[in-house]
Amino acid sequence: MRRATKAAMAIGVACLPLPAVAVDGKASTPGVSVIREGSTEKSTGAAANFSGTARVEGRFQREAPARIGGGTVTFAPGAHTAWHTHPLGQTLVVTRGRGYVQQWGQPAERFGPGDVVWIGPGIKHWHGAGPDEAMTHVALAESSKGQSVTWGELVSDAQYTAAVRNQPR
């Protein structure tokens, strides 16, 4: 017996099947789905778009009319994205470690577990780990015309060093 079912029975809750038809009456396939942890391919961020090692897990892209897509990204200490933009913005939910986000022309901002970062549409930025600590965030972005990110140039070592300098550890 599945653990969730056992737990539900233990507290006396009936497990009712969910209807397979959406509220608008159209069949939805599937109505609800769960991507099991570890069931999706892990990938490594391309060297053209990331400095250092960034591992991506649980990547997903919903079908229209939904636009949301994302994944969980773990940055090794010092690893970070290249400069890039998102046509409809991006939300980062930080789950582990401390890292940084920087908008072009602005000072970097440090963040940590439980923080939720918003990057507006078309804003040029990078995000990633601090120099001494790995960082994991869930990255969520809506796509426009099939595109959720436009990559630019790598963040130079001088730009990264300047961004994280004089920040509290």
Question: Alpha-carbon distance 57 to 43, whole Å?
Answer: 7
Rounded to 5 degrees, φ, ψ at 100 are: -140, 150
CB of 168 to Mn ion, least distance (A): 23
The piece of 6-14, 67-75, 86-94, 161-169 that touches Mn ion (CB under 5 A) is: 86-94
Question: Which residues neighbour 41 within 8 Å (Cβ) at sequence distance 6 or greater?
Answer: 59
Angle at Cα 45 formed by Cα 118 and Cα 127, nearest 5°?
A: 30
CB of 117 to Mn ion, least distance (A): 9
DSSP conformation letters of 85-102: E-TT-EEEEEEES-EEEE
CB of 40 to Mn ion, least distance (A): 20
Question: Alpha-carbon distance 130 to 100, whole Å?
Answer: 6
The piece of 33-41, 90-98, 103-111, 161-169 that touches Mn ion (CB under 5 A) is: 90-98
Choosing from 51, 90, 102, 148, the residue that interacts with Mn ion (CB under 5 A) is 90
The piece of 54-62, 67-75, 89-97, 128-136 that touches Mn ion (CB under 5 A) is: 89-97
CB of 119 to Mn ion, least distance (A): 6
Closer to Mn ion by Cβ: residue 139 or 164: 139
Residues forming the site for Mn ion (CB under 5 A):
90
